[in-house]
Amino acid sequence: MGEIIKAEDLSVSIRSAISNNNLASLSDEQKDQYYLFMCDALKLNALTNPLQWVRLNGKLQLYAAKNCAEQLRMIHKLSIKIKEARTDEKTGQFIVVAEGVTPDGRSDSSLAAVSLQGLKGDALSNAMMKCETKAKRRLTLSMCSTGLIDESEVVTIPNREIVDIKQVSTPTSTDSMQSNEKGAAPSNTGPSLNGGGGKPKNKDIKMLFNTGKQCGWSNLEIQELMIKLFDKDRTADLTLDEIRKATNEILASVVTHEA
């Protein structure tokens, strides 16, 4: 991932698109810059693709993918529990209320609801679990003041269009961003967010170990994971795709433990 991009370093056209809520007007390179800016601002691991693009009512915007809320809960040390779970017999809605507390004592709650009409067996169980997850994610995004909607909400919006925009390499300095604004060829100083089989840079490897540390993993446990997944015991031998896969495995282990 590139260097941290500050708000004042964003190009004029990017800031204009943000203020006009019209990100569709940005080039792919500018979308990549904005994507990394958002990940840096929220302290998210961009290699895990925590944000995705969606077009709603003709406007392009980012939404929070599954692992976005999971990372934010760890980063901000949020304590979340289910305060209430009930079925409304009149409407057939299953309602879950999640309550969260920050380390400094600030608390909030969030409600989620799904229809259980016509469901039974595994479909019923899955809908109830989905509702609990939705309540937790909505609460997390709200308490962390992200301004993002969660993917569990996106899928319920009519006429949505999930946009698969290939992320390109991101400039790592203000100068390179300004040169791109003037129409110069894009700089290839940073790795692609989509990974690939190329060699990772030191900062990519550091991100893997930082993620492991946040999730309570020791360096030895990360090395054992590398051997298990790729039969490699040296990070220098990993590809960028393997770095990304190892990072996702670590994050998934935390989610499984919480569940």
CB count within 10 Å of CB 125 equals 11
Q: How confident is the model at residue 26 (pLDDT cuts 50, 70, 90)?
A: confident
pLDDT at 96 over 90: yes
Return the bridge partners of 163, or none: 53
DSSP 117: T
Q: What is the pLDDT of residues 66-75, one digit of tens each?
A: 889 999 999 9
Return the bridge partners of 98, or none: 82, 110
DSSP 251: H
Going 245 to 168 to 207 to 146, the CA torsion angle's sign is negative
Q: What is the DSSP code string of 20-67?
A: TT-GGGS-HHHHHHHHHHHHHHHT--GGG--EEEEEETTEEEEEE-HH
Domains of the chain: 1-76+144-193 (no CATH), 77-141 (3.30.390.80), 202-258 (no CATH)
Give the pTM.
Answer: 0.63
Lowest mean pLDDT of 18-27, 54-63, 86-95, 113-122, name the range: 18-27
Lowest mean pLDDT of 31-40, 50-59, 244-253, name the range: 244-253
165 vs 203: which has the higher pLDDT: 203
Q: Which of 50, 46, 48, 19 shows the shortest CA–CA distance to 33?
A: 46
Q: What is the pLDDT of residues 98-139, one digit of tens each?
A: 999 999 999 999 999 999 999 999 999 999 999 999 999 999
Which residue blocks in 54-201 are alpha helix, DSSP H? 66-75, 121-143, 151-154, 174-181
Cα separation values, 197 from 95, 170, 201, 242, 244, Å: 44, 18, 12, 8, 11
Cα separation values, 165 from 38, 54, 126, 136, Å: 16, 10, 30, 28
Residue 7, pLDDT score: 56
